[in-house]
A and B are shown apart, each in its own frame.
Chain A
Amino acid sequence: MQNEQEFSKAEKFWMNFKLYQFWRFIVLNIKIYTIAVQSKWH
């Protein structure tokens, strides 16, 4: 965030840039799956 209470222009660009967001989609899926699945071992 450019200051504490606003998103910068660059941040907004990346939020909507589809190719980057596809990368984030893969990364977030892997991250969430790997930490969530650990619960099954409890």
Chain B
Amino acid sequence: MAKVLVIGAGFAGHTAALYLGDKLGRKHEITVISNRDVFGYVPSWVWVGVGHMKPEQTIFKLKPVYDRMNVKFVHASAKEIHPDADDQYVLGEEVGTGKEIRLNYDYLVVAPGPLLNFSGTPGLGPENGFTHSICSLPHAIKTRDAYLALCDRMKKGEKVKIVIGTGHPGATCQGAAFEYIINVHKDLLKKGLRDKADILWLSNEPALGDFGVNGVQIKRNGIVQKSDDFIKAVFNDHGIRYQVQTGVTKVEQGSIHWQNYEGEEGTTDFDFSMLIPQFKGQPFKYIGRDGSDVSSKIVNPMGFVLVDGKYGLPYPELSQTPEAWPAQYQNPNYQNIFAAGIAFAPPGPISKPFTNKNNLAIAPAPPRTGMVSGVIGRVVAMNIADLITTGKMTHSERMTEMVAACIASMGDSLWDGNAVTIVMRPVVPDRKKYTNEYGRDLFISHLEMGVSGAWMKFMLHYTFIWKFKALLGWKLIPE
């Protein structure tokens, strides 16, 4: 009987656990260790952050799902990974009791999502800083409360400044911040308060609509349309000001310090700000049999797990080398360790990085969205099942092959809500397969705004919660 251990129960880890339970659960031991006993449907935290969805509508308990799927659940925080042969285990700390837990494994899936590195930008974040975040449920709730308090001030006639975007020169996840800014705009409009707020989009993207993926390009009526123009039109339409090519370096009470591509330094005042922090890998200790630190064999300096990608290529070369992106998410030094979701180390950025004259790199990190994370979780699970049953992996999917569909909601009303529907194939341009200058399939890639997007977003919330609960037909729903 093989022991498979999954660290983390988010989009990647939970998807992996469901497929592992389904494929192997009856004959082998599948265990998930997660520091939260609920699954969180992260995309809907945007709505929590404006007070349009109750937090409890975005979560459900994991254990009953795992009981049905023949998966053991351990409610603990993983701390140490001991990867050396014959004695491979993870040490964790049980939530609530602090008791040390040892979990042996034959195969390990590392999928604990990002460490939200607020300390990477002095003054950033809701705990020790002055800005807000929607990257965890407690943060989204705190953001909601601060936002609603701000609305009360506006109701009394006060004019306010709202800044939303990225809080570090190397931040990712611009899509979530974009969705949030549009939801704030729409909510203020409904409350009759829009004229009381000056709203600014502040981001490290090279251009508007870049989203850390080099933008989205589509062909409509024979003309190539770019997300840059599209998002500009959205912001112009909504009266949202924007400033891109900007890396936030420090935040103080009411003011954000930044540098831009030109190397200029400036400050922007705010009354309310939601800025996405830099993401790092979770700070696990990787310990060899002799007690030595073996982390350099498993993770890069940012803490992301090294897998079967080609690392170290300069951007111009990487952007022409689709096969540099990992296919099976397997660590080359410890081949029974896999990484899924945000935890794996990408070989480099997707968007063109930029370093200004002060040597500040302003470069969005590649996003590993929910769909990408789920696909990787499934690929990893199927390969582990392959290895256990036949000894040979048969699944692979690079980000240069993956499709991503994102619905960026603009208000949640089914009547007058709106959303931008974004489809791109592939997520990371493949300039060998698609010979246009964007490296994308311009026929499949899609950008569209309308009420239908709001219906889709609403439908996705319930469809995905259905899937993640492993209810009837869950495997038919794509990741």
Contacts and interface: CB of A to CB of B under 8 A. Distances in A.
Contacts of A24: 448, 450, 452
A16 B450 contact: yes
B446 A14 contact: no
Given A29-B456, A35-B423, A40-B478, A18 B395 contact: no
Interface in A2-37: 4-7, 14-16, 18, 21-22, 24-25, 28-29, 31-33, 35-37
Given A1-B229, A14-B450, A36-B479, A28 B403 contact: no
Interface size class of B (residues with CB under 8 A): 35 or more
A4 to B, nearest CB: 4
Given A7-B233, A16-B451, A28-B421, A39 B456 contact: no
B36 interface: no
B310 to A, nearest CB: 20
A36 B456 contact: no
Nearest to A28: B421
B452 A21 contact: yes
B452 A35 contact: no
A42 B229 CA distance: 34
Nearest to B418: A15
A31 B416 CA distance: 24
Contacts of A35: 403, 405, 423, 425, 444
Per DSSP, chain B at the interface is mixed
B232 A5 contact: yes
B56 interface: no
A35 B402 CA distance: 10
Interface in B436-479: 444, 446, 448-453, 455-456, 478-479
Nearest to A4: B229
A27 to B, nearest CB: 9
Given A15-B449, A25-B456, A35-B425, A1 B233 contact: yes
14 contacts: A5-B229, A6-B237, A15-B449, A21-B452, A21-B455, A24-B448, A25-B456, A28-B446, A32-B456, A36-B371, A37-B478, A39-B403, A39-B478, A42-B401
Interface of B: 225, 229-230, 232-233, 236-237, 371, 375, 378-379, 395-397, 401-403, 405, 416, 418, 421, 423, 425, 444, 446, 448-453, 455-456, 478-479
Instruction: Give me the 10 closest cross-chain CB pairs, A-B, nearest first.
Output: A36-B478, A25-B452, A24-B452, A15-B450, A21-B452, A42-B397, A21-B451, A4-B229, A5-B232, A32-B405
